[in-house]
Chain A
Amino acid sequence: MQRDRRRALATGLALVAGAAMGAGVLAQGHERVVKVVARKWVFLPSTIELKKGEPVTLEFTSPDVVMGFNAPDFKVRADIIPGQVAKVRFTPDKAGTFTFLCDIFCGDGHEQMSGTLVVT
């Protein structure tokens, strides 16, 4: 229970920090953090720019229903549960433009819910 509370507090602090910077991208030491909102039926932002070889953590939140994040080209995915922060950490190992999608059927607009990773 205490662990859950600590995690919730940490999450809250991270969200506050994100809001204070007024941007979806944070630098934590040497690591990039990109905050992404998954809501019916879009990812915001839907285009995420990354650097090849640079570790990144994507932090997902959903304000409405359970969503999924899946980037098959990098073999990373996560369940995005309302009220929680889903973190995906990986290092892009190739450059190019890659599709990611919601892989949990979430409603009328589910099939349009995708985005793009642009790795340079």
Chain B
Amino acid sequence: MTIDRRKFLQLTALGGGAVFASGLAGCSHMPGASAQPDFYFVQLSDTHWGFNGPAVNPDARGTLPKAIAAVNALEVQPDFIVFTGDLTHTTDDGAERRKRLGEFKAIASGLKNRNVRFMPGEHDASLDNGAAWKEFFGETHYTFDHKGVHFIAIDNVSDPTARIGEEQLAWLKADLARQPKDARIVVFTHRPLFDLAPEWDWATRDGGPALDLLMPFPNVTVFYGHIHQENHHMTGHIAHHSAKSLIFPLPAPKSQPKREPLKWDPSQPYRGLGFREVEAEPGKAKYAITELAVGKA
């Protein structure tokens, strides 16, 4: 990429927020991936296609298409796009679940960028252990490598008890055993891997063992969804960044007795909704986050 992405983003952020740098300070001369070029990806999350609640989002069927259009309008297209779960809003009806997944997939196919990664959320997958989701999108956990970064998608939603599970943890352990100790690792997942707010179901019951496996690696960053807002947290040297939703925002962790969606404010439509760009500098194991708004906010 020849353009200075950070400068470009500063010029074009659509009401977006601050750039947040994550990763290890003082590691500007790390070996390994230093020859890899910078790149950026887009994270979208918690689109909840099929949700109906005019009090919190009267444009429930319009917000996702607006986000797709906003991504398509980015002057420099990302290397890839990832959806970190809750593509659809839950339903007890398996046929309706498949209808929503199909509609979501059709809308997402409108992205100009064809390199799109999908992950399930508990709304998509917890009622049938991911069966319907797999019919549309394939495996719920996987890895891929891109320009010096090893990406790991962890499924902590197909088990309705919010567990990763022994089998997947063994898979993770085996994958990590193949990585060099200075590997640049980015984890995508839906729920937080740490206990952000267990009383609001903002946790993964066996997230601790997953983090234990990741801890020996000095360059690990986690991007997740689920909590419908930006949140930045460190567990040891591992940074965790949650993304905004594209359907309704939720209150800050433990800021009120109940976890209830924030009401739509007609004077500030789409407030709290959005998606993000993440500019990766593999050589420094750094990730610069730019939050972008959707709609008119």
B162 and A97 form a contact (CB under 8 A): no
A49 within 8 A of B: no
Is B77 part of the binding interface, using a Cβ–Cβ cutoff of 8 Å?
no
Which of B92, B160, B258, B259 is A104 in contact with, Cβ under 8 Å? B160
B92 contacts A72, CB within 8 Å?
no
A114 pairs with B258, CB closer than 8 A: yes
Known contacts A72-B198, A72-B199; A103/B90 CB under 8 A: no
> With A and B bound together, what is the CA distance between A93 and B259 in angstroms?
25
Interface-side segment among A3-11, A18-26, A29-37, A105-113? A105-113
Whether B198 contacts A70 by the Cβ 8 Å rule is yes
Q: Which of A70, A100, A105, A106 has the most CB of B within 10 A?
A: A105
Do the beta carbons of A104 and B161 come within 8 Å of each other? yes
Question: Which of A79, A97, A108 gathers most chain B CB within 10 Å?
Answer: A108
Q: How far is the CA of A108 from the CA of B90 in the complex (A)?
A: 6
Inter-chain CA distance A98–B258, complex, in Å, is 11
Q: A97-B257, A99-B257, A110-B90 are in contact. Are A105 and B198 (CB under 8 A)?
A: no
Across the interface, which residues of A come within 8 angstroms of B161, CB to CB?
68, 79, 103-104
A73 within 8 Å of B (CB atoms): yes
When distances are taken between beta carbons in the complex, the residues of chain A under 8 Å from B90 are 105, 107-108, 110
Interface presence of B221 (CB below 8 A): no
| A101 CB–B CB distance under 8 Å | yes
Check: B91 CB closer than 8 A to any chain A CB. yes
Q: How far is the CA of A68 from the CA of B195 in the complex (A)?
A: 17
Asked whether B92 lies within 8 Å of A108 as measured between CB atoms, the reply is: yes
Q: State the main secondary structure of chain B at its contact with A.
A: loop
**Chain A residue total in the interface (Cβ 8 A):** 22
Complex interface: chain B residues within 8 A of A98 (CB):
199
Contact indicator A105/B127 (Cβ below 8 Å): yes
Q: Give the interface residue-count category, chain B.
A: 10 to 19
Mark A60-93 against chain B: 1 for CB-CB distance below 8 A, else 0: 0000001010111100000100000000000000
Residue B200 at the chain A interface, CB threshold 8 Å:
yes
**Is B91 in contact with A103, judged by CB distance below 8 angstroms?**
no
Expressed in whole angstroms, the Cα–Cα distance for A71 and B126 within the complex equals: 21
A111 with B259: CB separation less than 8 A:
yes
Residue contact A100 to B199, C-beta cutoff 8 Å? yes
Given the complex, which residues of A lie within 8 Å of B258, measured CB to CB?
99, 114
Residues in chain B near residue A101, CB distance under 8 A: 199-201
Q: List 9 A-B contacts (CB under 8 A).
A: A66-B160, A71-B199, A98-B199, A99-B258, A101-B200, A103-B205, A107-B127, A108-B92, A114-B199
Binding site for B on A (CB under 8 A): 66, 68, 70-73, 79, 97-101, 103-108, 110-111, 114, 116
Q: A70-B199, A100-B199, A110-B90 are in contact. List 16 more A-B contacts (CB 8 A).
A: A66-B160, A72-B195, A72-B198, A72-B199, A73-B199, A79-B161, A98-B199, A101-B200, A101-B201, A104-B160, A104-B161, A105-B126, A105-B160, A107-B127, A108-B92, A114-B199
Q: Which 3 A-B pairs have the closest CB atoms?
A: A105-B126, A72-B198, A105-B160
